[in-house]
Amino acid sequence: MDKIELYDTTLRDGAQYEGISFSVEDKLSITETLDDLGVHYVEGGWPGSNPKDALFFERVRDLKLKNTTVTAFGSTRRANVDAASDPQIQALLSAKTEVITLVGKTWDLHVTHVLETSLEENLGMVSDSIDHILSEGRRVFFDAEHFFDGYKQNREYALKVVQAAAKSGAECIVLCDTNGGASPTEIVSAVKSVKSLIDTKIGIHTHNDSDMAVAASISAIDAGVVQVQGTINGYGERCGNANLISLIANLKLKKNIDCISDTNIKKLTSVSRFVSEVANMPPPSNQAFVGTSAFTHKGGLHAAAVDKVEHSYQHIPPSVVGNTNRVLVSELSGRSNVLMKAEERMNIKLSPDLARELVNVIKDKESRGFQYEGAEASFELIVRRAMPDYVPPFGLVDFMTIVEKRADDSQDEDLTSQVMVKVVVGDKEVHTAATGNGPVNALDHALRKALLGYYPELQNVSLTDYKVRVVDQQIGTDAVVRVLIESTDGENTWSTVGSSQNIIEASWMALVDSVEWWLLTHSKAFS
As to burial, measured by CB atoms within 10 angstroms (0-12 exposed, 13-18 middle, 19+ buried), residue 34 is buried
Quote the Cα angle for 165-169-173, to 5°: 50
Q: CA–CA separation, 51 vs 54, rounded Å? A: 5
Reported as a single tens digit per residue, the pLDDT across 249-258 is 999 999 999 8
Which pLDDT belongs to residue 370? 87
Reported as a single tens digit per residue, the pLDDT across 149-203 is 999 999 999 999 999 999 999 999 999 999 999 999 999 999 999 999 999 999 9
Least confident range of 112-121, 308-317, 422-431, 475-484: 475-484
Q: CA–CA separation, 527 vs 404, rounded Å? A: 42
Which pLDDT belongs to residue 2? 61
With cut-offs at 50, 70 and 90, classify the pLDDT of residue 147. Answer: very high
Reported as a single tens digit per residue, the pLDDT across 205-225 is 999 999 999 999 999 999 999
Of residues 306 and 244, the one with the higher pLDDT is 244
Task: Tell me the Ramachandran region of residue 472: left when phi exceeds 0, alpha when psi lies from -120 to 50, beta otherwise.
Answer: beta
Q: Are 69 and 41 in contact (CB under 8 A)?
A: yes
**DSSP codes joined into one string, 154-197:** -HHHHHHHHHHHHHHT-SEEEEEETTS---HHHHHHHHHHHHTT
With cut-offs at 50, 70 and 90, classify the pLDDT of residue 355. Answer: confident
Q: For residue 445, what is the enclosing H or E element?
A: helix 439-451
Which pLDDT belongs to residue 413? 58
Q: CA–CA separation, 235 vs 10, rounded Å? A: 7
Reported as a single tens digit per residue, the pLDDT across 18-73 is 999 999 999 999 999 999 999 999 999 999 888 999 999 999 999 999 999 999 99
Task: Tell me the Ramachandran region of residue 495: left when phi exceeds 0, alpha when psi lies from -120 to 50, beta otherwise.
Answer: beta
Domains of the chain are 5-279 (3.20.20.70), 296-367 (no CATH), 395-526 (3.30.160.270)
Please give the share of the chain, as a percent, with pLDDT higher than 70: 90
Quote the Cα angle for 33-38-44, to 5°: 55
Average pLDDT rounded to a whole number, residues 415-422: 86
